[in-house]
């Protein structure tokens, strides 16, 4: 996205240290993200950007920046600023997929020159060491790291305590990307190991996270001494002590990774396409409209125990995002639901075009009326480039 005037002043060295903190908005609470390099945004925007020759060097450069700023033990950070590593939060599992896209676009020689494969492997090994859950699935580091700040499956829980369907679906894709990347750079002997890991996580997602009554996947939190796995499902308890699982669009993300069987995918499509639930007039709602936790406010206040204060974060408890619509349109298309996938692509393109016509801006999320919620008075680009990509690909 283009630099804001405040960000340009900071980079030009024309602001004092005190002014920098207020002008650049280190917490990004004003909607000015132009100084930040974010793991998820850069990775998913590259899906579209790498198809255009003039953007390839920049898209791949962002990957190299993230890898260059990694810790010595391999951890890639979720965000970087020009003057510091913004925080110790790790990237979500998208780096191998990002690296594979770049290597396919720019070639094996580019990947070898920049040592892409060993550095991506180092991050994957870091995740295996630090995010291994007690059910044999991967833990979400935090809702902030997941990219879905207010998602009911992870928001408000202690770090590394939830094994969610989103993190594990992405981890399947990471292992598969590592297998392809290994073959691309002449490390064919490594590919079988990566594919075996992908298959193992697929099996555990299917066996442990699928909920037939809901028609999608749930999250787990390990609990000492419980008598049945159902007691560890992330949700609320009714008066009889039974768990009512929280419902989130992230429970549908295994569609994008190709995890469910065809029969389960049909069941998930039925759930996704309910107009009173996830299937909204302008795109996929991130929480179903008939759920008690559904709301479409621009931002939500959450307490950050690391910063010891509350702050506004992006809302994924109902608003429509291009990213979630993209993932689920791809998932529908992958399982042969071409009509709904096409409809979602057209809805997304129309939503963005109407926003530009009405405001001259592109927002990062919208309500059911197509009104942009955030940021206010600034344009959000990033993974919004997937809107036109969806239209070209699916419609």
Give residue-wise pLDDT tens across range 331-356.
999 999 999 999 999 999 999 999 99
Q: Answer for the pair 284, 322: CB distance below 8 angstroms, yes or no.
A: no
Identify which of 16-20, 179-183, 381-385, 391-395 has the greatest average pLDDT.
179-183
pLDDT given for residue 86 in this prediction: 60
Q: Which residues contact residue 103 at a Cβ distance below 8 angstroms, ignoring those fewer than 6 apart?
A: 110, 111, 116, 181, 184, 185
Taking each helix axis as running N to C, give the angle between helix 53-68 and helix 116-130, from 0 to 180 degrees, rounded to the nearest 10: 50
For residue 21, pLDDT over 50 is answered with: no
What per-residue confidence (pLDDT) applies to 29? 64
Rounded Cα–Cα distance for residues 346 and 271 (Å): 20
Which pLDDT score is estimated for 36? 84
Residue 313 and residue 302 in contact, taking contact as beta carbons nearer than 8 Å: yes
pLDDT tens digits along 243-298:
899 999 999 999 999 999 999 999 999 999 999 999 999 999 999 999 999 999 99
CB-CB contact of 334 with 317 (8 Å): no
Looking at mean pLDDT, say which of 76-85, 265-274, 373-382 comes out highest.
265-274
Share of the chain above pLDDT 90, in %: 81
- Over range 52-64, report the average pLDDT: 97
Residue that has been written with the tokens 């990062």 in this structure:
364
Q: Which two tokens stand for residue 185?
A: 């750079």
Task: Check: CB of residue 120 under 8 Å from CB of residue 181.
Answer: yes
Do residues 372 and 361 lie in contact, with contact meaning Cβ atoms separated by under 8 Å? yes
The whole-number pLDDT of residue 33 equals 74
Predicted pLDDT of residue 308: 87
Q: What is this structure's pTM?
A: 0.93
Supply the mean pLDDT for the chain.
Answer: 92
Assess whether pLDDT exceeds 90 at residue 378.
no
C-alpha span between 218 and 216 (Å, rounded): 7
Asked if the model's pLDDT at residue 38 lies above 80, the reply is: yes
What is the Cα–Cα distance from 162 to 159, expressed in whole angstroms? 8
Say how far apart CA 299 and CA 285 lie, in whole Å. Answer: 15
């Amino acid at each position: 996205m283009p630099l804001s005037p405040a960000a340009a002043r900071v980079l030009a060295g024309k602001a004092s240290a005190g002014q920098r903190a207020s002008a650049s908005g280190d917490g990004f609470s004003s909607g000015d993200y132009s100084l930040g390099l974010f793991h998820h945004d850069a990775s998913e925007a590259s899906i579209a950007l790498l198809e255009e020759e003039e953007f390839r060097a920049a898209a791949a450069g962002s990957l190299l920046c993230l890898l260059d700023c990694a810790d010595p033990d391999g951890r890639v950070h979720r965000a970087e600023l020009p003057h510091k590593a913004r925080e110790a939060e790790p990237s979500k599992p998208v780096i191998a997929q990002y690296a594979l896209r770049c290597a396919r676009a720019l070639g094996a020689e580019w990947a070898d020159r920049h040592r892409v494969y060993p550095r991506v492997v180092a991050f994957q090994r870091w995740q295996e060491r630090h995010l291994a859950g007690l059910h044999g699935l991967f833990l979400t580091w935090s809702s902030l790291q997941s990219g879905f700040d207010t998602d009911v499956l992870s928001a408000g829980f202690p770090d590394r305590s939830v094994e969610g369907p989103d993190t594990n679906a992405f981890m399947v894709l990471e292992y598969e990307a590592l297998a392809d990347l290994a073959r691309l750079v002449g490390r064919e002997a490594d590919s079988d190991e990566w594919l075996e890991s992908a298959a193992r996580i697929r099996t555990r997602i299917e066996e442990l996270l699928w909920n037939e009554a809901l028609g999608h996947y749930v999250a787990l939190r390990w609990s000492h001494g419980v008598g049945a796995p159902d007691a560890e499902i992330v949700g609320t308890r009714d008066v009889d002590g039974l768990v009512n699982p929280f419902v989130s669009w992230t429970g549908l993300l295994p569609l994008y990774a190709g995890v469910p069987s065809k029969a389960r995918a049909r069941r998930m499509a039925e759930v996704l396409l309910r107009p009173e639930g996830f299937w909204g007039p302008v795109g996929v709602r991130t929480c179903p409209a008939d759920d008690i936790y559904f709301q479409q406010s621009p931002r939500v206040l959450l307490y950050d125990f690391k910063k010891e204060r509350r702050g506004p974060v992006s809302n994924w408890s109902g608003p429509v995002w291009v990213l979630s619509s993209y993932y689920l349109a791809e998932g529908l298309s992958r399982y042969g639901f071409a009509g709904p996938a096409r409809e979602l692509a057209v809805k997304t393109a129309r939503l963005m075009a109407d926003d530009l016509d009405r405001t001259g801006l592109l927002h990062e999320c919208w309500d059911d009326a197509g009104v942009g919620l955030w940021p206010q008075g600034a344009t959000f680009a990033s993974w919004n480039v997937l809107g036109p990509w969806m239209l070209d690909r699916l419609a």
